[in-house]
Copies of this chain bind each other. A is one copy, B any other.
């Protein structure tokens, strides 16, 4: 049997969200390359940041990401950068996400290869984070980035904040970059028929990992003022282990004690097919279903 096509997603964050010309030049690196599909980019002027979504086979994906990093290092000067979003580098963070026929081990390997390449080619210090992290205190991106561009040179003199790849101090204009592998993230929000934010907050606390809830669920209460209702806004950080339907049913169950009802939900941005198929399997009680039974998944091989 032929080897199945491997697909990895990459969502690099660049510290430029205002200069269209610069953004276009960086995005250009992702286009027109066999084996790579440029899916989306979103920029924000307040954050002064651009988030690109691209998927592809490992080899060509490595190449386009490296080329885009080169462009960003050439065109973005962090010494002149200001914006609302915390950042430490021209290319602030590069997560690699296993999508099809790739496991986490391979995604980690790929993240390290790219880290090696971009530190060699552009003199960038690189921190490995999330599943690629080389120590527990370096898993969380916010911990690595704390101090931001302006504080990184100083921070990197501490032994526990030496970079994993590249020079021991920041790149003068491009700072430092975090690279790592993580599972796909699903932004899943559940709406409640009450205007009381404290109810959404209370339910969020029950369902999220941080305060005793589901292992791969982050959650906060959000006020949907326009609609006069509130929402439990969740980031599902590993839907293969904490299923969407499980958090949905748990929110429903907790809502009962407040006499409120779940009136709908929303998924923001992209969602892997498997996350939804899993829910269909659960609610229809489908026995022995294989993802290979989905026609489209077979056509992609």
Copies of this chain: 2
Contact with A300, one of B245, B277, B283, B300 (Cβ below 8 angstroms): B300
Task: Name the B residues within 8 Å of A272 (CB-CB).
Answer: 294-296
Question: Could you mark each residue 269-296 of chain A with 1 if its beta carbon is under 8 Å from any beta carbon of chain B, else 0?
Answer: 1111100110111011111110011111
Chain B interface: which of A78-86, A111-119, A209-217, A258-266? A258-266
Task: Name the B residues within 8 Å of A297 (CB-CB).
Answer: 273, 296
Task: Name the B residues within 8 Å of A285 (CB-CB).
Answer: 262-265
User: Is there a chain B Cβ closer than 8 Å to A95's Cβ?
Assistant: no
Taking a contact as CB atoms under 8 Å apart, the answer to whether B296 and A273 are in contact is: yes
Contact with A296, one of B262, B281, B284, B296 (Cβ below 8 angstroms): B296
Taking a contact as CB atoms under 8 Å apart, the answer to whether A245 and B7 are in contact is: no
Taking a contact as CB atoms under 8 Å apart, the answer to whether A292 and B40 are in contact is: yes
User: Is there a chain B Cβ closer than 8 Å to A253's Cβ?
Assistant: no
Taking a contact as CB atoms under 8 Å apart, the answer to whether A295 and B265 are in contact is: no
Taking a contact as CB atoms under 8 Å apart, the answer to whether B270 and A298 are in contact is: yes
Taking a contact as CB atoms under 8 Å apart, the answer to whether B265 and A286 are in contact is: yes
Contact with A264, one of B7, B262, B269, B286 (Cβ below 8 angstroms): B286
Which of A245, A267, A289, A292 lies at the interface centre, i.e. has the most chain B CB atoms within 10 A of its CB? A267
Taking a contact as CB atoms under 8 Å apart, the answer to whether B264 and A287 are in contact is: yes
Q: List 26 A-B contacts (CB under 8 A).
A: A39-B298, A40-B292, A99-B295, A191-B287, A264-B285, A264-B286, A265-B284, A265-B286, A266-B287, A267-B286, A267-B289, A270-B295, A270-B298, A272-B295, A272-B296, A273-B273, A273-B294, A273-B295, A273-B296, A276-B281, A277-B277, A279-B280, A279-B283, A280-B283, A296-B296, A296-B297
